[in-house]
Structure 1
Amino acid sequence: MYNAPYFMKEAGRVLWQNRLSSVFSFLSTGLILFILAVIVACWSVGNLLIKTMQDEAEISAYLDRDIGTEQVLELIETIKGMEGVRDVQLVDREAAYGRMKEILGDEAGVLELFEENPFEAFIEVRISLGELEKITERLESLKGINHVRNNREVLERVQSITIGLKRLGYLIVTAVSISTLVIVSHMIRQGIYNNRVQVGALRLLGAPESFIGFPFVLAGLLLTLAGGLLASFVIVFLVNRTYSAMAGSLPFIPLPARNQLVSGLLLFVSSVSILLGVLGSMFGLRSTK
């Protein structure tokens, strides 16, 4: 703590001596950390979407048009007794029409072009996702069921997109780490070279290597923290704008709690900034020995 003012002064001098390089390093670090934060945010949304779809997995069993009320009730009781079925609900033609009208919103006027209700009655079956195939086969075999529709393809597509984002994220994490380490270590090496006379004098006076090197480590840490701060401002702005836009146009898409997502991203960016700043500085110091 006694030497803290000296370390801060020396770190500031290192950054100022290489101010052009420091500015470009700051902007580059901010950009790559921002890209990393966007990927992490996409992971969070994708994982929540998959979990929501798994929790709300359902099958729609469409009924024959000439089926009677008693037979429908018998079908419902039969379906309720199937293993893996969580809930069963009858959706008649009027209810199906109302649902579509609600989904279309301002565009619901297109439904008035039909002379008759174009929707069929169906039984909505909420299930455990692991039993999807088995329940689908059993429903298709029941008399009075015209056809069965499930959301398997949608779920598989969302899962594949999320897996793709994760793989892309791993590549970006690797690229971000390498790029930041190279940027910071290069700046530290340049700073040591520009201050080689002072460094040599301190060594002749018997100063320990930790005392000589700490201002350079601090300079690298300040640089990545500044880049992380820039990335944090941009990602918070982007998250707020995205949530506001989707709340009005796509309210049915599940999103993580805004405050929880923002706080998680800020913690992640700051942690990565500190880690990469310290490692990059240490690497730069070791490469000059």
Structure 2
Amino acid sequence: MTSISSNIGYFFREAKTVIRLNLLTNILSLLSTGLIFFILAMVISGWWVSSEVIEVIQEEAEVSVYFDESLNPMDVLHLVKAIKGIEGVREARIVDQGEAYSRMVEILGEEARVLEFFDDNPFSSFIEVKIHLEQMNPVLEKILPMKGIEHVRDNREILDRLHSVVRILKLVGYLAAMAVGISTLVIISHMIRLGIYHNREQINTLRLLGAPEIFIACPFMLVGMTLTLGGGLLASMMSDFALKEVYAQMTGPLPFIPLPPLETIVGKLALLVITLSISLGFIGSLVGLSSERSN
């Protein structure tokens, strides 16, 4: 171990020589691993963002309860009180016509000018009921039979579709991770074997001089880890730029979507990609060295 630490400079010089001998091939390998890691980063970021969006939506899960407009204010208040007493209901309040109109104006943004064509407020008052999502069905079963209730609008279909999207992204993420792992291992092990082939005379000389195998292997390990680390850094920069563009496009026309903080996603993604790139570089180098040694 002392011998290895005292020869760090030699290992880096040899790694530099190995890379320079096949410079174009190594550059192409670095770009290839960078693109592979970039695809993985985009899939994983999509998985993370969609999962966090759904989690926020679940925490804010609510249904809109529309009542008979002929009910007097006291009957409506009693209705709200009865709904609050249902197990699974977190909060219930009346949203009057004015507030319903204001909410739609906020959602529509610039397109809200179409509402000016209506002579009267086209929206009705309703009861906004915030619930625990996992108890939606029991809550609805108790609300629907109540006297004075006309209909209930919920977002179960949207949530079910979002859950389906997350499951698909999760599956794609696992498959992408497997594909990235296999592709990176193949590329790096091939580059290590190529480097050993071009330096076989020097390696044989070192073996004749009694150099241990780990001493001979260290420069090639550094080459493999350098290529994958470079690819990971390239993928991190590309994903940072791509996510900023995606957020810029989404926060404008879709301001109501509760996206997680961009800095958090970018930071977690960079850490994951770089850690994965170093690990795969190390494993790929070992595979290349062991396969070459067995020949």
TM-score (norm 1): 0.97
Task: State the identity as a percent.
Answer: 51
**Matching residue of 1:3:** 7
**Matching residue of 1:243:** 247
Find the residue that maps to 1:143 and give its secondary structure: coil
2: distance between equivalents of 1:25 and 1:271?
Answer: 18
- Deviations for 1:186-216, whole angstroms, at most 9, x for unmatched residues? 0000110111111111111111000001100
Which segment is superposed worse, 2-11 or 159-168? 2-11
1: distance between equivalents of 2:106 and 2:292?
Answer: 67
- After superposing on structure 2, the runs of 4+ consecutive aligned residues of structure 1 that deviate more than 3 Å are none
Contact 2:53 2:260 in 1 (8 A): no
Q: CA deviation at 1:56?
A: 0.6
1:89 pairs, out of 89, 93, 100, with: 93
What amino acid is the match of 1:242?
V
What amino acid is the match of 1:162?
V
**Matching residue of 2:18:** 14
Contact 2:206 2:216 in 1 (8 A): yes
1:128 pairs, out of 132, 148, 163, with: 132
Contact 2:107 2:256 in 1 (8 A): no
Q: CA deviation at 1:243?
A: 2.6
> RMSD between aligned alpha carbons?
1.1
2: distance between equivalents of 1:258 and 1:104?
Answer: 24
Contact 1:36 1:169 in 2 (8 A): yes
TM-score (norm 2): 0.95
- Deviations for 1:228-260, whole angstroms, at most 9, x for unmatched residues? 111111111122233333333222111222222
**Matching residue of 2:79:** 75
Find the residue that maps to 1:288 and give its secondary structure: helix
**Matching residue of 2:116:** 112
- Deviations for 1:149-181, whole angstroms, at most 9, x for unmatched residues? 111111111111011000001010000000000
Aligned length: 289
**Matching residue of 2:195:** 191
Find the residue that maps to 2:146 and give its secondary structure: coil
2: distance between equivalents of 1:151 and 1:157?
Answer: 10
Q: Aligned pair 1:31/2:42, yes or no?
A: no
**Matching residue of 1:224:** 228
**Matching residue of 1:64:** 68
2:174 pairs, out of 170, 174, 182, with: 170
Contact 1:63 1:120 in 2 (8 A): no
1: distance between equivalents of 2:74 and 2:287?
Answer: 77
Unpaired stretches in structure 1, ≥5 consecutive residues: none
2: distance between equivalents of 1:93 and 1:137?
Answer: 26
What amino acid is the match of 1:148?
V
**Matching residue of 2:107:** 103
Q: CA deviation at 1:262?
A: 1.6
2: distance between equivalents of 1:248 and 1:224?
Answer: 36
1: distance between equivalents of 2:225 and 2:103?
Answer: 55
2: distance between equivalents of 1:20 and 1:179?
Answer: 19
2: distance between equivalents of 1:242 and 1:155?
Answer: 22
- Deviations for 1:74-101, whole angstroms, at most 9, x for unmatched residues? 1011001111111111012222111111
Q: CA deviation at 1:53?
A: 1.2
What amino acid is the match of 1:244?
A
